[in-house]
Chains A and B, each alone.
Chain A
Amino acid sequence: MILLTLLGCQSIDLADEWDLDRLRLLAVRAEPAEPRPGDAVTFTSLAYVPGGAPWSAIWFACVAGSELGCSFDPSVLEGLDDMGSLTPEEQAELFATLAAAGLIGVEPGLPPSWVVPADALAGLTEAEALEGTSATVQVTLTTATPEDEGDTELVLRRVPISLAPTPNQNPDVEVFEVEGNALAAGEALRVDAGRSYDLKATLAGALEEYAYVTTEGVEETRTEELEWRWYTDVGTLGGGIPSFEEDEPESGTVTWNTPNDAGAGVLHAVVLDGRGGMGWWSVAVTVE
């Protein structure tokens, strides 16, 4: 109790999660969002790389087990450092070895894609298969080079796998508004320094509904609840915890305070549907 009081009184200046001040992997979107065994899945990501530094990403995927991530022999990655000196045949052999270990992509160069193992749902009953299981996607994003340690971000992401007749769909952000004015897709934003702006992002279409059978065996229809995450590297985001609008559950809002000095940066609105689906809207901003 006193601790809480003191936390309320003491000035604690620690970096906030919305503050993009280092290498970050903000979102990973699987397509389809809820694959079946045997489906091919592609992945796109939203990363923040300060200063446009050269970066690389290594992707692994596996059907989730008892371990937190995908287990593999890390020595299989050693060959990647010498990739340039390998012959095409040796490269192919290395990739085969890495693929067997769960490697699904190396960026730049080899975009991540994964074929869900056909036996991913083996051992489950028919009803359990409808509920499904999940896969773990493990990403190592780094700006490290042989000359520089750089920065590294380790990320785990779950992707549901099931035989659901109406599989989950990724949410898509359709409208991004600044002070009530919608931006066109890809449109950059120019704002005044030292001001506050109300930002609002809205999903395309209505919230998804889906069937769910409770542990008591009761069938019910549920509606997705969205989670919005906002990020920027210019100014500050405030107004409490960014969240969905109660009156407009398909929208998320936040207050953005631009810095007093001119500058440039980005704004990202990331949305999660709580069932493994992800989407985002990114805006390049210039503060004048």
Chain B
Amino acid sequence: MLLLLLSLLPLAAAQDAPSAAPPAAPAEGELPPLLKDPALLDFVQAPYPPAAEAAGVEASVRLLLEIDATGLVTAVEVVTPAGQGFDEAAVEAARQFRFSPAEDATGPVPVAVEFDYGFKLAVQPPPAEEAAPALAIEGTLREMATRAPIPGAAVQVRRGEVTIATTTTDAEGRFALSGIDPGAVTLVAFTPEHQRDELDVTVVAGEVTELGLWLRRLSYRGAGVVGIYEKERPPEVTRRTLTMAEVRRVPGTFGDPVRVIQSLPGAARAPFGTGLLVLRGANPEDSNVYVDGVEVPLVYHLGGFRSILNPDLISAVDYLPGTYSARYGRSTGGVIDVSTTSTYPDQTKLVWRTDVLDTGVFATGKVGKKGKDKVGFSVGARRSYIDAILGAALANAEFYAAPRWLDYQLKIEALDAGDNELSALLFGFQDDLIVRTDAGEADQIGVHYSTHRLVLRWARPLSDTLKFQLQPAFGIDGTRVGFGSDIGIELDAVRVDLRGELRWTPSEALSVAAGLDSEAARYDLSVYVAGVPVDGEDPLSEEEPLTIDGGRWNAYPDSFLEAQIRPFADRDRLLVVAGLRLDGIVRDDEPVQVAPDPRFAVRFEPFEGATIKAGTGLYHQPPQNAQLIGEAFFERAWGNELGWEQKFSPAISADATGFYRWMDPLALGFGGEGDTGVGRAYGLEVMVRHARIDRFFGWISYTLSKSERNDTPDDPEAWYPFDFDQTHILTGVAGYRLPLDFEVSARVQYVTGNPYTPYDGQGLYLMDEGRYLGFPSADTNSERLSAYYAADIRVSRLFTFKHWQLEVFGDVLNVIHGDNPEFQLYNYDYTESATINGLPLVPSLGFQVEVNL
């Protein structure tokens, strides 16, 4: 009877981590990935059901085991029953299993694992003969592709149809067989989860035959952490964390985990799949994106198809749409924090991935000594060629524009015996917009972005109750925009970020953190516009060249203080998080501005499986478009949410959250002080999820919301819908694992059409300028485009070889080929209009090769 760890489902138990967490623990509030899977230490043999044995029936029972932080099995549930007494026997035996605890960066954590308990009829050994104690065959059994040793596997020696010896592999996958007469035999190895393998061997008298056997797993699809789960830990009221194992298989994402955010509650549908982050009705520029806590200007490459990091480097994506912790700031919208992998794998892994968009390579491994001192590395790079493909496909188009990107990543981390955790992450990307017109490739028209970041991190425990981490980061950003010889814009930024945190945890009931989250940047701007009217109000005004050359420093020395209180003995029953963040704006030529952000959150479990959550807080940010022009001022939002989470089973859970966000003041244009309005967004988010257990995973998310703006706050009648106000957003995602390592998944989405301002042909012809000034026929954004319907599918097949795996996949976006109107285009005098539709059916094929050395 053999077993296989199929999948791990982290439970909401990080809060159970002992206070003396290991030194590698990340700061509170981040979600660490599992660094160590649980391993079975004590296997208990279940009695074979007599009736089944008599009938010669074999079976396998799939169980779901909940394992606590000490490795004990606390609950057993039958996922796939076999009947005939197998289920009861397997459950009873599994209750007595003992595992080594699973660990994340905070230390041992409880998890749930799937476990196949196999029942195979015992092979009758041949009649006992004279014992031949000499060792005849020994070897190691490993799994194909992963090269992992297989413990507990059955190994038999047959001569003809007769089994003459049998054994099981140890924890290292080793086996040894003695007492085998010389001559030809067949070695057979199998587990319930692997394909049987046979090998003909000749045993020579007096010699030991050494063998290496490889078994192919029946399915490689189940391994890994379940895709999306709520990490119900403070301090965020709503923190949705995406991990890698399955989100890469969600259709519509092109295998990019960050794009899954667009299938979660609270995220509006981005036009044309551009990936604009519109979270809970906030402006896209009001949501921040971080990589390991360091802000980056873009989360997606141009075009929105790919995020800026290689997926293999991403361990988790934290999606914080609302009232998040005081650790995050300088944003009034939501937060996306992408965490990079932090592992020290035993094997070096190479990944090569190619599809119609780009090609990427990635490698990760460990160097140095075994034991406590260890050094891990990850390195990757990608380059796109979608511009060349689009160029060929649209060879006859009068005009087309396509993105071209490349990115790179290098991470080195070390953990020494002194519990110092050190890491350095260097990453960057470059994006170019390639424009071609009927006059040829227009080199003089273009957009160029580049970003580079170096993130250093040092963390260590100072005592049993005090933890410390420091994270300085250095960055360079560049932007170039040009339109021939008439317009040229260059914006360069050099920035230094500093994050530091000291956390004091005197008891399980109290944890206090004080920290810095500061940024200083110098922006240098160079603008040239060939002709700008001297008097912008007069169309006959003479034009003069506009030249701007200048730079300035912006510094945001923010700090925070936060306390987490768990007053009850059952620490999960009530959690109160109170935080205060101080936001600052320091410029070399303006007075210092400071704004306080008090934040408060509560999670309460009235009974098993249920959680009531609530949060409120203030959020300040300097307007993005006023960083260089105009006097700096704070935008402000007041965020609130109240929700209920219910866990119905280890697999099924639901979450309903209501939110209200008031934005005042809200920058309206490119501008300075006074150029402000107000905004409000409110709604309800619901998510019902089936975690990946056995073959199925999926979720349904629904958002009912309203987001409005008022440019003249004194006029209560002047509210109008936000440009991306989408009343209903309904998304369904489902995936199913088929035999032979096939997997299919699908996503369907219904979204209310975006609002627009209607015109009916009434306008004023400004003859000197040669253009019409249209008169709206109704209020701003009072009409809506038709609703958006789309269905995406993904099919993949995994091929496994001894040392490597090949996955071939196909994505089809908008498989129903819906029109999906994106915006309303008017002709020159607003007498006619046409609807511009979204992406048509978009197919993508690709493959991924993964080699474990």
**A interface vs B, CB < 8 Å?**
1-10, 12-17, 22, 25, 27-28, 64, 66, 68-69, 134, 153-158, 160, 212, 214-215, 222, 227, 229, 272, 274-276
CB neighbours of A153 from chain B (8 A):
765
Whether the pair A157, B825 counts as a contact (CB closer than 8 A) is no
Is there contact, CB below 8 Å, between A276 and B272?
Answer: no
B residues 393-419 in Cβ contact with A at 8 Å = 394, 397-403
B765 near A25: Cβ-Cβ < 8 Å? yes
Question: What's the nearest-Cβ distance from chain B to residue A226, in Å?
Answer: 13
User: A68 to chain B: closest CB distance in Å?
Assistant: 8
| A154 and B544 contact, CB distance less than 8 A | no
Query: Does B766 reach chain A (CB closer than 8 Å)?
Result: yes
Q: With A8-B398, A16-B827 given, can you name 8 additional A-B contacts, CB distance below 8 Å?
A: A1-B433, A2-B304, A4-B399, A6-B839, A10-B836, A14-B827, A14-B832, A275-B540
- Are B544 and A214 in contact, CB atoms less than 8 angstroms apart? yes
Within 8 Å CB of B271, what residues of A?
A: 3
Main secondary structure of the interface of A (DSSP, over half): mixed
Q: A46 vs B458: C-alpha distance in the bound complex, in angstroms?
A: 76
The answer for the CA separation of A122 and B306 in the assembled complex, in Å, is: 61
| Residue in B403, B544, B767, B837 whose beta carbon sits within 8 Å of that of A155 in the complex | B767
User: Is B764 a contact partner of A2 (Cβ separation < 8 A)?
Assistant: no
Interface residues in B749-768 by Cβ distance below 8 A to A read: 763-768
Interfacial chain B residues near A212, Cβ < 8 Å? 542
Complex Cα spacing A239 to B828, Å: 18
Of all chain A residues, which has the CB nearest B771?
Answer: A17
* Across-interface contacts of B826 in A (CB, < 8 A): 14
Q: Across the interface, do A15 and B765 meet the contact criterion of CB distance under 8 Å?
A: no
Residue of A nearest to B543 (CB): A274
* B833→A14 contact, CB < 8 A: yes
Residues of chain B within 8 A (CB-CB) of A66 are 537
Smallest distance from the beta carbon of B444 to chain A beta carbons, Å? 16
Query: Which residues on the A side are within 8 Å of B827 (C-beta)?
Result: 14-16
List of B residues within 8 angstroms of A25 by Cβ: 765, 767
Chain A neighbourhood of B715, CB < 8 A:
none
Q: Is A156's CB under 8 angstroms from B831's CB? A: no
Q: Is the CB of B764 within 8 A of A10?
A: no
Among B726-774, those with CB < 8 Å from A are 763-768, 770, 773
Which of chain B's residues have a CB closer than 8 A to the CB of A1?
302-303, 401-403, 433, 447
- Any chain A CB within 8 A of the CB of B816? no
Distance in angstroms between the alpha carbons of A64 and B764 in the assembled complex: 16
Which residues on A sit within 8 Å (CB–CB) of B402? 1, 5
Question: Once the chains bind, are A6 and B765 in contact (CB under 8 Å)?
Answer: no
* Distance (whole angstroms) from the CB of A216 to the closest CB of chain B: 8
Question: Could you say which interface size class chain B belongs to?
Answer: 35 or more
With A6-B272, A8-B394, A229-B770 known as contacts, the answer to whether A155 contacts B401 (CB < 8 A) is no
Q: Are B764 and A155 in contact (CB under 8 A)?
A: yes
Instruction: Report chain B residues within 8 Å CB of A69.
Output: 764
CB-based nearest A residue for B545: A214
**Complex: chain B residue closest to A276, CB-CB:** B540
> Given the complex, which residues of A lie within 8 Å of B447, measured CB to CB?
1
Is residue B83 within 8 Å, beta carbon to beta carbon, of the partner chain? no
A157 touching B399 in the complex, CB below 8 Å, given contacts A1-B302, A10-B836, A16-B828: no
Contact present for B767 and A156 (CB under 8 Å): yes
Q: Does A17 lie within 8 Å of B828, measured CB to CB?
A: yes
7 tightest Cβ-Cβ pairs between the two chains A and B? A14-B827, A8-B399, A4-B401, A2-B272, A17-B828, A8-B400, A157-B767
Given A8-B394, A9-B394, A27-B767, check contact A134 B831 (CB 8 Å): no
Residues of B267-310 contacting chain A, CB below 8 A? 271-274, 302-304
Chain B residues within an 8 Å CB radius of A13: 834
> Does B121 lie at the interface of the complex (its beta carbon under 8 Å from any beta carbon of A)?
no
7 contacts between A and B (CB under 8 A): A5-B394, A5-B402, A6-B836, A6-B837, A15-B828, A25-B767, A274-B540
- Closest chain-B Cβ to A73's Cβ sits at a distance in Å of 19
The docked-state distance in angstroms from the alpha carbon of A153 to that of B772 is 10
Name A273's closest neighbour in chain B (CB-CB). B540
Q: Which of B362-402 contact A (CB under 8 A)?
A: 390, 394, 397-402
Contacts of B223 in A (CB 8 A): none
**B534 surroundings in chain A (CB, below 8 A):** 215
Chain B residues with CB below 8 A from A275, complex form? 540
Say yes or no: is B717 at the interface (Cβ < 8 Å to chain A). no
Q: How long is the Cα–Cα vector from A123 to B447 in the complex, in angstroms?
A: 46
**CA A69 to CA B537, docked complex, whole Å:** 12
Note all chain A residues with C-beta closer than 8 A to B829. Answer: 15, 17
Residue B538 lies at the interface, judged by CB distance under 8 Å to chain A: yes
Q: How far is B538's CA from A1's CA once the two chains are assembled, in angstroms?
A: 32
Cα A130 to Cα B86 in complex, Å, equals 103
Determine whether the beta carbon of A215 is less than 8 Å from that of B836: no
Task: Determine whether the beta carbon of B839 is less than 8 Å from that of A2.
Answer: yes
Smallest CB gap from B436: residue in A: A8
- CB–CB A227/B770 < 8 A: yes
Which residues of B are found within 8 Å of A5, using beta-carbon distances?
Answer: 390, 394, 400-402
Let me know if A158 and B538 touch, CB within 8 A. yes
A275 to B767, CA, bound (A): 12
How far does the alpha carbon of A22 sit from the alpha carbon of B772 in the complex, in Å? 15
